[in-house]
Chains A and B, each alone.
Chain A
Amino acid sequence: MTAPNDRGVVWLGSPAFPEAAREALKDGQLRANLRRATATIRDKRLSVSAELDDWEQLRDAAAAIKQHTARHLDRYLVQLEESVTAAGGTVHWAADAAEANRIVTELVRATGGSDDETREVVKVKSMATQEIGLNEHLAEHGITAYETDLAELIVQLGDDRPSHILVPAIHKNRTEIRDLFAAEMGRHGIAAPEGLTDEPRALAEAARRHLRHKFLSAKVAVSGANFACADTGTVLVVESEGNGRMCLTLPETLITVMGIEKVIPSFADLEVFLQLLPRSSTGERMNPYTSAWSGTTEGDGPSAFHLVLLDNGRTDTLADPVGRQALGCIRCSACLNVCPVFERTGGHAYGSVYPGPIGAVLTPQLVGVDSDTKGAAASLPFASTLCGACYDACPVKINIPEVLTHLRAKVVEAEGGRTVEALAMKAAGKVLDSPRLLTAAQKAAALGGKVLARDGRIGRLPGPLHGWTDSRDTPAPPTESFRSWWRKNREGGTS
């Protein structure tokens, strides 16, 4: 139905993860910024989640609700469509990024305002619209989309890419943000005040002044959705700054683009997610603002509400019984914040709007591992030590390591066993399935070690092992393996 290349998600031309990571690791400032930010949020998340002694039961419930919804997604989407329509909204279905972009563009143009008014939209931070490249598409059609979330504004002003799901500008520190605001705000509207300092409070104030008139004059807003309740048609946006409330309340037309997996069965199910999400994402008992609306309300907020339901590879993901759990993601970013790989490389190395551990399982499933985008996407399941910190942190219990090894097997399968690695693995399998061959290999290793080692340690080596030996010494294999020692010393040692 849709070619993976029409789906967006990945940044075309991104190198595979190892190469992208190598570049990122050279940036000492980036690593310092990431270390500081992730350390701050980890401690907060642990302390507020520990306040709830039934945290594990909440996670179990959340996982069960999400998995149940996925298994009956057709039913819940149809129910959502009915309830949103009954409440005065209009529902659109988009098979892929191209269709969603086309729908939104037409809706903006059809808002009936003057030319000036239909040339601008304000946006609430939304992963779905990042994924489909909506801003770029709108720009091609003469419509400027203003990102209003502080971090998204930072990314947009810097002509940069997001590097984190919750805090897209996590790669920048306060001083870098100050410099950017001072240099760029004036070119897009109200300039930063003279003498702007790098105090976060002052930076927030500058963003407030910069965006204020855009909120007050915008006719159309575009948002994502955190949740949509099938039974009531209630859509929710969870946020902190109030930019979401501005966009959801002040313009005449609201267009919400939502991945089909964001539906939950009932309004009552929010009792689970509204406890888990803020504590997992920003480490707060509750985020400052959550807006919930069902269709339109006379005299309050937009008079037109459009809900665009986006597939864009999600049904492909759903077809994989192991991989589909990734669709349960509520975009809290806890997995990014605890990931030791993300902490070192940052998000850009993942080459996708979905970085970090969840990105490593979501991106390859959304775009496929045997498509033209494969170079980068197929490297992502390997961008993990399988340390399991992500699984522990995930409020909806997505077993990310399980999906990672599952996807690794799919990548290997797609390669068709023709790689050098596949041949080596076959050979290793033969040796390891034979105590006799293993013994021979152990003797060979001991001999080889003797040749290579100095003072019992093997240092830097050229060739395929340089990646290992560049940063580590390796002890030379001992001359006698355990099995050989056992044969000599415990002959007949069975009890």
Chain B
Amino acid sequence: MRIALFLTCFNDTMFPGTGRAVVEVLERLGHTVDFPQEQTCCGQLHFNTGYRPDAVPLVARFARTFADYDAVVTPSASCAGMVKENHPLLAADYAPAGLQREVAELMPRVHEFTEFLTDVLGVTEVGARFPHTVAYHPTCHSLRGLRLGERPYQLLRAVKDLELVEVPAADSCCGFGGTFAVKNADTSAAMLADKADTVRAAGAEVLCAADNSCLLHIGGGLSRQGSPVRTMHLAEILAATEGVAR
């Protein structure tokens, strides 16, 4: 299986460790991963802010870059959602028939990382050990967009010595919302404050999620409040092998 990593522009720039973690987990499971250098961005920023035509070249680039792979894996539920839901829509509205076809053909092969592990590879135990108390934040795009459901929890429960704790009202949005956090900064901050309170109440050392963007927002709020809770992408926990002989 030819697997490509679509890391997303945001992770590429801000969270390269998440990319290395995805590669490490997949290689540990015996797969080879490629990172096509022509990849950039899924266009979510433009699409969600109302700049649809500006997102179209990115749709075309995505389809071109990943056309030859059997699977495109991304550690971002929101970018996976953008690609799967909105690339076909943008192609239909703005692109020639050829691109529409390419986008349609590629879509079934695009997978969010946890869904790729559980559904495509059929794996929940990835050989990880992480002896810490961990809470999982179901981001809106993983919960209601991609409907990841139990998948992330199954993967976390299989991590050796990891203690999983619940965040109260976990399903409520953290208030990030991309440009929402800038355009409606006060409302976003109010949502963040409530989310940070519930995360602290969960009593975890680490908060993880399938989206670094939400984690950047929540972690930024926790850090500002002086909370010791760390944020980590779920993939980094699955890559962790603390104390495991390798």
Residues in A with CB closer than 8 Å to B41 are: 432, 438
What's the nearest-Cβ distance from chain A to residue B160, in Å? 27
A474–B144 touching, CB < 8 Å: no
Query: With A and B bound together, what is the CA distance between A130 and B14 in angstroms?
Result: 49
Which of B35, B172, B180 interacts with A483 by CB under 8 Å? B35
Query: With A and B bound together, what is the CA distance between A485 and B23 in angstroms?
Result: 12
Known: A425-B46, A425-B51, A438-B40. A477 touches B221 (CB 8 A): no
Instruction: Say yes or no: is A68 at the interface (Cβ < 8 Å to chain B).
Output: no
- Segment of B53-61, B117-125, B151-159, B200-208 engaged in the interface with chain A: B53-61
What's the nearest-Cβ distance from chain A to residue B148, in Å? 13
B223–A485 touching, CB < 8 Å: no
Known: A426-B54, A473-B223. A482 touches B11 (CB 8 A): yes
By beta carbon, the residue of chain A nearest B176 is A385
CB contacts under 8 Å to B, within A444-493, are 445, 457, 459, 464-468, 470-475, 477-478, 480-483, 485-487, 490, 493
Residues in B with CB closer than 8 Å to A408 are: 48-50
What's the nearest-Cβ distance from chain B to residue A273, in Å? 24
B180–A25 touching, CB < 8 Å: no
Residues in B with CB closer than 8 Å to A31 are: 190
B173–A493 touching, CB < 8 Å: no
Instruction: Say yes or no: is A442 at the interface (Cβ < 8 Å to chain B).
Output: yes
Which of B38, B48, B145 interacts with A435 by CB under 8 Å? B38
What's the nearest-Cβ distance from chain A to residue B65, in Å? 9
- Segment of B103-111, B126-134, B181-189, B238-246 engaged in the interface with chain A: B181-189
Instruction: Say yes or no: is B101 at the interface (Cβ < 8 Å to chain A).
Output: no
Query: With A and B bound together, what is the CA distance between A485 and B178 in angstroms?
Result: 26
A429–B54 touching, CB < 8 Å: yes
A386–B40 touching, CB < 8 Å: no
Query: With A and B bound together, what is the CA distance between A468 and B184 in angstroms?
Result: 10
Instruction: Say yes or no: is A231 at the interface (Cβ < 8 Å to chain B).
Output: no
By beta carbon, the residue of chain A nearest B86 is A405
- Segment of A15-23, A190-198, A219-227 engaged in the interface with chain B: A15-23
What's the nearest-Cβ distance from chain A to residue B158, in Å? 26
Instruction: Count residues on chain A whose CB falls below 8 Å from chain B CBs.
Output: 68
Instruction: Say yes or no: is A304 at the interface (Cβ < 8 Å to chain B).
Output: no
Residues in B with CB closer than 8 Å to A22 are: 186
Residues in A with CB closer than 8 Å to B176 are: 385
Which of A345, A411, A426, A474 interacts with B220 by CB under 8 Å? A474
Query: With A and B bound together, what is the CA distance between A483 and B58 in angstroms?
Result: 18
Instruction: Say yes or no: is A382 at the interface (Cβ < 8 Å to chain B).
Output: yes
Instruction: Say yes or no: is A494 at the interface (Cβ < 8 Å to chain B).
Output: yes
By beta carbon, the residue of chain B nearest A466 is B185
Instruction: Mark interface residues in B196-228 (1 if CB within 8 Å of A CB, else 0).
Output: 000000000000000000001101110110000
Query: With A and B bound together, what is the CA distance between A389 and B17 in angstroms?
Result: 31
Known: A470-B185, A482-B12. A435 touches B40 (CB 8 A): yes
Dominant secondary structure of chain A at its interface with chain B: helix
Instruction: Say yes or no: is A210 at the interface (Cβ < 8 Å to chain B).
Output: no
Query: With A and B bound together, what is the CA distance between A472 and B171 in angstroms?
Result: 21
What's the nearest-Cβ distance from chain B to residue A179, in Å? 26
Instruction: Mark interface residues in B3-44 (1 if CB within 8 Å of A CB, else 0).
Output: 000010101111111011000000000001111011111010
By beta carbon, the residue of chain B nearest A414 is B50
Query: With A and B bound together, what is the CA distance between A478 and B19 in angstroms?
Result: 13
By beta carbon, the residue of chain A nearest B60 is A433
By beta carbon, the residue of chain B nearest A479 is B16
Residues in B with CB closer than 8 Å to A25 are: 186-187, 190
A457–B46 touching, CB < 8 Å: no
Instruction: Say yes or no: is A495 at the interface (Cβ < 8 Å to chain B).
Output: yes
Residues in A with CB closer than 8 Å to B33 are: 495
Identify the 6 closest CB pairs spanning chains A and B, nearest first.
Answer: A385-B177, A472-B220, A467-B185, A408-B50, A412-B50, A387-B173
Interface residues of B, Cβ cutoff 8 Å to A:
2, 7, 9, 11-17, 19-20, 32-35, 37-41, 43, 45-52, 54-55, 57-58, 61, 86, 140-141, 143-145, 171-173, 175-194, 216-217, 219-221, 223-224
Interface residues of A, Cβ cutoff 8 Å to B:
17-18, 21-22, 25, 31, 340-341, 344-345, 381-389, 391-392, 405, 408-413, 421-422, 425-426, 428-429, 432-435, 438, 441-442, 445, 457, 459, 464-468, 470-475, 477-478, 480-483, 485-487, 490, 493-495
Q: A385-B191, A429-B55 are in contact. List 16 more A-B contacts (CB 8 A).
A: A18-B187, A25-B187, A340-B175, A382-B184, A422-B51, A428-B45, A434-B40, A435-B37, A464-B182, A467-B188, A478-B14, A482-B15, A482-B19, A483-B7, A486-B37, A495-B2
Task: Name 23 A/B residue pairs within 8 A (Cβ), A-sorted.
Answer: A21-B186, A25-B190, A382-B179, A385-B173, A385-B188, A391-B144, A405-B50, A405-B86, A409-B50, A421-B49, A428-B54, A429-B46, A429-B57, A434-B40, A438-B9, A438-B13, A467-B182, A471-B185, A472-B224, A482-B16, A483-B7, A483-B12, A486-B37
